[in-house]
Amino acid sequence: MFKKVHVSDQAPAPIGPYSQAVEVGGLIFCSGQIPLDAKTGQIVLGGVAEQTKKVMTNIEAVLSAADLNFSNIVKTTIFLTSMSDFSTVNEIYANYFTSAPPARSTVEVSGLPKGVSVEIEVIAKRL
């Protein structure tokens, strides 16, 4: 089976031994994105709202490297360090999926890389 790695310099470089996105059989598995600025490598300042917006921008950049966009996403997983942030994250997330949103899971975790509040991973499909 052929595996293609997709890379965007508009999204943060991986902080470990993984790829930003891997495509197999028309499915694109995007690694979780956290609110890091691609140019500086620094965490975006502000609360969970600002962090979520940056995460979505990073996802958009990775999808774009594979010639895809948010309409190609079929599944997302949101990781939050506090479920009390759910409504804020949900409100921002909803702006990116105005029709036919993907399937989704949201999970509270005890911690995320670099101490951020939110991480989102996606699976997309070539249509």
Where is 49: in which H helix or E strand?
helix 48-65
CA–CA separation, 31 and 8 (whole Å): 12
Q: pTM here? A: 0.96
CA distances from 108 to 19, 57, 63, 74 (A): 24, 22, 25, 21
Q: Which domain holds residue 10?
A: 3-125
Q: 3-state DSSP call for residue 99?
A: coil
Share of the chain above pLDDT 90, in %: 94
Residues 23-45 have pLDDT tens digits of 999 999 999 999 999 999 999 98
65: CATH: 3.30.1330.40
Q: What is the total count of domains within the chain?
A: 1
Q: Would strands 103-108 and 73-80 be described as parallel, antiparallel, or unpaired?
A: parallel
